[in-house]
């Protein structure tokens, strides 16, 4: 039996990649897709990605999509993710959340969805980045605070949140390795007379430009050496592939909020 996958935000950069990934994966089929409005409404999902028509058209009713899907994949915007999380709660449909930049009250809806539906949330669905999280935690646990930790990231010019969700997850991994809370030690930006760098700080540097899909580095620097763990995404396909893998993994799972580490068996 094929797993029917719904794609909210199906005309976005990631939404289109997910349509292609589902079409290319034997064990699943496209259940449908939604957009908030605009010219994509009513278009055929296959045509939208330059493939043969699927006979399924872009809609604008997320609740209806959750009802007919075995899993729904969400790469949209925080305000939409909030509504989609409520639809997952109401229907119990497996839900995969990739949207970043969620405020605390948006995140609360995702956590609530995990009480009645199986949910995977990840700031990054690539296998390599999830290994980077694990390695960052391990290195931070091994090196003492003589090593300053900085997280560098670069993304394309269209990205609207900063630092990236992935950079924040790297920061969380480093903080976990050190046994501290990121919110107590994070420095998200520097400008002007910042003073010397406090020991134990975890710093972030954000770059935006061109078409960069996503570069991330966790840097550990003391006076005499520097260790850098770097991941560079070469295609959005790695995120779409991971999201579809997560959607398939969720089938038959109990309600709960799972991570990509759970999906990949990394912990
Ligand atoms: P995008 O702007 O190209 O796509 C977002 C789409 O969502 C748009 O088509 C928009 O019209 C649609 N949308 C907005 N409101 C909607 C609603 N109410 N219902 C349905 N659709 C709605 O952006 P993108 O580059 O595809 O990224 C989307 C999100 O995914 C961002 O938060 C980005 O940071 C995140 N992202 C996460 C990962 C990951 O691995 N977790 C990877 C890449 C991007």
Per-residue pLDDT tens over the stretch 123-166: 999 999 999 999 999 999 999 999 999 999 999 999 999 999 99
**Each residue's pLDDT tens digit, 51-68:** 999 999 999 999 999 999
Give the other-Cβ count within 10 Å of 126's Cβ: 22
Dihedral (Cα; 178, 246, 117, 176), 10-degree rounding = 0
Q: Which two tokens stand for residue 135?
A: 């390695």
Per-chain mean pLDDT for the chain: 97
pLDDT band for position 266 (cuts 50, 70, 90): confident
What residues are in contact with ligand 1 under a 6 Å CB criterion?
Answer: 8-9, 11-15, 34-36, 75-77, 80, 98-101, 122-125, 239
- CA–CA distance, 252 with 261 (Å, rounded to integer): 18
* Dihedral sign computed on CA atoms, order 213, 190, 171, 113: negative
Query: For position 253, what pLDDT does the model report?
Result: 98
Does pLDDT of 1 surpass 90? no
Q: How many whole angstroms from 141 Cα to the centroid of ligand 1?
A: 34
Cis before 163 (ω within 30): yes
Residue nearest to atom 35 of ligand 1 (CA): 99
DSSP H or E run through 40: none
- Separation of CA 80 and ligand 1 centre (Å): 9
What is the three-class DSSP state of 153? strand
CA nearest to 118, candidates 127, 107, 126, 110: 110
Q: In the numeric block, which tokens belong to residue 113?
A: 């969805």
């Amino acid at each position: 039996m094929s797993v029917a996958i719904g794609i909210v935000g199906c005309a976005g950069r990631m939404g289109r990649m997910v349509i292609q990934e589902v079409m290319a994966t034997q064990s699943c089929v496209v259940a449908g897709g939604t957009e908030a409005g605009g010219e994509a409404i009513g278009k055929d999902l296959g045509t939208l990605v330059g493939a043969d028509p699927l006979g399924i058209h872009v809609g604008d009713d997320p609740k209806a999509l959750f009802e007919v899907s075995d899993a729904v994949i969400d790469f949209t915007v925080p305000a939409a993710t909030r509504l989609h999380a409520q639809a997952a709660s109401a229907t119990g449909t497996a839900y995969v959340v990739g949207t970043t930049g969620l405020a605390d009250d948006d995140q609360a809806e995702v956590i609530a969805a995990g009480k009645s539906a199986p949910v995977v949330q990840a700031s990054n669905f690539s296998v390599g980045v999830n290994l980077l999280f694990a390695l960052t935690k391990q290195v931070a646990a091994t090196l003492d605070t003589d090593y300053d930790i900085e997280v560098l990231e670069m993304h394309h010019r269209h990205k609207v949140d900063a630092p990236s969700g992935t950079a924040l997850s790297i920061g969380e991994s480093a903080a976990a390795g050190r046994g501290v809370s990121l919110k107590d030690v994070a420095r998200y930006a520097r400008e002007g007379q910042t003073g010397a760098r406090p020991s134990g700080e975890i710093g972030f540097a954000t770059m935006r430009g061109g078409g960069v899909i996503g570069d991330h580095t966790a840097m550990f620097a003391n006076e005499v050496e520097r260790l850098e763990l770097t991941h560079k995404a070469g295609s959005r396909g790695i995120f779409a592939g991971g999201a579809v893998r997560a959607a398939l993994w969720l089938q038959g799972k109990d309600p709960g909020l799972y991570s990509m580490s759970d999906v990949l068996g990394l912990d």
